[in-house]
């Protein structure tokens, strides 16, 4: 017998509802958490309908659209939750469907892993599940592929529904101060070079985060410590963590160099991870929490760049050539908002809200991306709040680097790069960020 999957019974009801629709095929994502012995699937979400017409036939899979949906959903998953695989509801049986699904699961994994800032660990689970459902006969075929093996063949898997799969999962949360300075190239007309610089800086920052010492409830726990040892079964446990980081020693040559400007990312973020209730260990909590820290910061930076790039394209379409360039621009990165999943009030997904967005826009994205019907009162907005921009927020070294190079570009990169400060959300318990 192959790998086992314990599936929340709400997923069964969701897939059954999709089988009643007349669309063919229907694709979607399976979300949950992997462990050494088995995987836990706590929710499923269908691929949104693509509005614009495409050249693809009506009954074929739009692989690009499915993989992009997976990329967006992966941003909305806190630590401990990931895309475990895909499902497809179709009345077309045969080898062609299995080949297509195999290609799809590999494409999804490659796109998601390309945005990750961490290196794979030896104990990472690399099996991904594919679920084929015939809407007429309700016949279900469950197979797994090892996505790290390009020659991997389909293996049978055990798929079992169960109630209360994530009702008592452990949560570990942490607030983390971020102060990241990113030097940028002199050639600021090349947006790809800007994106490359930001990714390199984030990877360098990740190299400081990963070896950091994590204290759980003020203690450094041995790796094999069971977090719920001695606690009542089926009772949710919550822990508060603190990450201690030793900055890398820098040589003068590493600090002083010619650049075309810089971006400073500052603020305090809220990070959290969820752990299945089957004897969660301190080692797993630390790994997943650190990965969530890296993911949430990288996601916000990338979202801001995408927003600015979209604004630039809009200006070009409107033929607005009078865009002014400032030596210093301040931008607030989006705040993290949490919403519990349908099956359990103890596990949440998340979204990111810019300061000019309302909560209704968050609920709309939750519906579109995760098919979650959430009201505004269901959202947890208390963990983070928008950073306050003060007059003296730009430090003197940032201004000096911008003045030396006198940026002249009037496109999106010129606006961001002169001497830009991107502010992360501040912790809800803080009135001001101390480094500002």
Q: What is the mean pLDDT of residues 66-90?
A: 96
Q: What is the mean pLDDT of residues 418-435?
A: 54
Rounded to whole angstroms, the Cα distance separating 35 from 107 reads 23
Residue 202 has a pLDDT of 93
pLDDT digits (tens, 9 = 90+) for 395-405: 333 222 222 22
SS3 per residue for the chain? CCCEEEEEHHHHHHHHHHHCCCCCCEEEEEEEEECCCEEEEEEEEECCCCCCCCCCCCCCCCHHHHHHHHHHHHHCCCECCEEEEEEEECCCCCHHHHHHHHHHHHHHHHHHHHCCCCCCCCCCCCEEEEEEECCCCCCEEEEEEECCCCCCCCEECEEEEECCCCCCCEEEEEEEEEEEEEEECCCCCCHHHHHHHHHHHHHHHHHHHCCCEEEECCECCCCCCECCCCCCCCCCCEEEEEEECCCCCCCHHHHCCCCCEEEEEEEEEEEEEEECCCCCEHHHHHHHHHHHHHHHHHHHHHHHHHHHHHHHHHHHHCCCCCCCCCCCEEEECCEEEEEECCCCCCCEEEEEECCCCCHHHHHHHHHHHHCCCCCHHHEECCCEECCCCCCCCCCHHHHHHHHHHCCCCCCHHHHHHCCEEEECCEECCCCCCCCC
Band (pLDDT 50/70/90 cuts) for residue 54 is low
Residue 385 has a pLDDT of 83
Residue 414 has a pLDDT of 35
Rounded to whole angstroms, the Cα distance separating 315 from 311 reads 6
Q: How far does CA 364 lie from the centroid of its chain?
A: 18
- At residue 348's C-alpha, the angle toward residues 346 and 351, to 5°, is 160
Q: Smallest Cα–Cα separation from 69: which of 42, 37, 47?
A: 47
Residue 192 has a pLDDT of 63
CA distances from 326 to 265, 331, 333, 406 (A): 18, 13, 19, 10
pLDDT digits (tens, 9 = 90+) for 231-265: 666 678 899 999 999 876 554 445 566 677 788 88
Q: What is the mean pLDDT of residues 31-59?
A: 82
pLDDT digits (tens, 9 = 90+) for 408-418: 333 333 334 45
The pTM of the full predicted model, rounded to 2 decimals, is 0.86
Rounded to whole angstroms, the Cα distance separating 317 from 69 reads 27
Residue 23 has a pLDDT of 79
Q: Which of 7-11, 306-310, 385-389 is most confident?
A: 7-11
Higher pLDDT, 231 or 132: 132
Where exactly are the structural domains of the chain? 4-162, 170-333+387-427
Q: Hey, CA dihedral for 194, 195, 196, 198, is it positive or negative? A: positive
Q: Which pairing describes strands 155-156 and 127-133: parallel, antiparallel, or unpaired? A: unpaired
pLDDT digits (tens, 9 = 90+) for 172-186: 999 999 998 888 776
Tell me the percentage of the chain whose pLDDT exceeds 70: 77
Q: Of the ranges 92-96, 152-156, 176-180, 203-207, which one carries the lowest mean pLDDT score?
A: 92-96
Bond prior to 403 in cis (omega within 30° of 0): no
Which CATH class name applies to 4-162?
alpha beta
Residue 411 has a pLDDT of 35
Higher pLDDT, 407 or 213: 213
Q: Of the ranges 162-171, 300-309, 331-340, 369-378, which one carries the lowest mean pLDDT score?
A: 300-309
Rounded to whole angstroms, the Cα distance separating 233 from 389 reads 46
CA distances from 276 to 41, 235, 270, 422 (A): 11, 12, 20, 35
Q: What is the overall mean pLDDT for the chain?
A: 82
Band (pLDDT 50/70/90 cuts) for residue 324 is very low
Q: What is the CB-side half-sphere exposure of residue 410 using CA atoms within 13 A?
A: 8
Residue 393 has a pLDDT of 43
With a cut of 70, say whether residue 49 has pLDDT above it.
Answer: yes
Residue 305 has a pLDDT of 84
Residue 346 has a pLDDT of 84
Residue 410 has a pLDDT of 33
Residue 320 has a pLDDT of 58
pLDDT digits (tens, 9 = 90+) for 335-393: 999 999 976 778 999 999 998 999 999 999 999 999 999 999 999 999 998 776 665 44
Q: Of the ranges 79-83, 128-132, 244-248, which one carries the lowest mean pLDDT score?
A: 244-248
């Amino acid at each position: 017998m192959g790998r086992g999957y314990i599936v929340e019974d709400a997923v069964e009801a969701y897939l059954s509802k999709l089988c009643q629709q007349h669309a063919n095929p229907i694709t979607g994502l399976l979300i949950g958490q992997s462990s050494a012995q088995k995987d836990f699937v706590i929710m499923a979400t269908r691929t949104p309908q693509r509005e614009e017409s495409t050249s693809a036939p009506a009954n074929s899979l739009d692989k690009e659209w499915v993989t992009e949906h997976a990329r967006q959903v992966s941003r909305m998953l806190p630590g401990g939750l990931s895309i475990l695989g895909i499902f497809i509801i179709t009345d077309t049986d045969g080898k062609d469907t299995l080949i297509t699904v195999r290609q799809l699961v590999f494409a999804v994994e490659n796109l998601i892993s390309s945005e990750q800032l961490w290196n794979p660990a030896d104990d990472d689970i690399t099996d991904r599940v594919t679920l084929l459902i015939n809407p007429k006969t309700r016949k279900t075929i469950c197979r797994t592929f090892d996505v790290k093996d390009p020659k991997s063949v389909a293996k049978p898997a055990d798929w079992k529904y169960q109630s209360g799969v994530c009702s008592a999962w452990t949560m570990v949360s942490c607030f983390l101060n971020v102060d990241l300075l990113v030097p940028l190239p002199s050639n600021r007309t090349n947006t790809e070079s800007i994106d490359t610089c930001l990714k390199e800086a984030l990877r360098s920052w990740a190299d400081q985060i990963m070896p950091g010492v994590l204290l759980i409830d003020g203690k450094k726990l041995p790796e094999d410590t069971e977090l719920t040892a001695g606690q009542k079964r089926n009772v949710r446990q919550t822990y508060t963590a603190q990450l201690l980081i030793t900055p890398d020693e820098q040589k003068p040559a590493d600090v002083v160099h010619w650049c075309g400007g810089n971006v400073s990312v500052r603020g305090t973020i809220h990070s959290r991870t969820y752990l299945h209730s089957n004897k969660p260990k301190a080692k797993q909590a630390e790994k997943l929490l650190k990965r969530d820290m890296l993911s949430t910061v990288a996601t916000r930076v990338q979202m801001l760049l995408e927003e600015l790039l979209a604004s630039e394209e809009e200006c070009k379409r409107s033929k607005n050539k009078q865009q002014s360039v400032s030596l210093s621009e301040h931008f607030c990165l989006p705040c993290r908002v949490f919403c519990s999943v349908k099956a359990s009030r103890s596990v949440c997904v998340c979204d990111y809200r810019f300061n000019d967005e309302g909560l209704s826009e968050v609920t709309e994205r939750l519906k579109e991306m995760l098919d979650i019907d959430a009201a505004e009162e269901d959202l947890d907005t208390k963990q983070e709040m928008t950073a306050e921009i003060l007059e003296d927020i730009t430090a003197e070294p940032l201004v000096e680097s911008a003045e030396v190079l006198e940026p002249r570009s009037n496109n999106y990169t010129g606006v961001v790069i002169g001497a830009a400060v991107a502010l992360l959300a501040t912790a809800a318990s803080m009135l001001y960020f101390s480094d500002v």
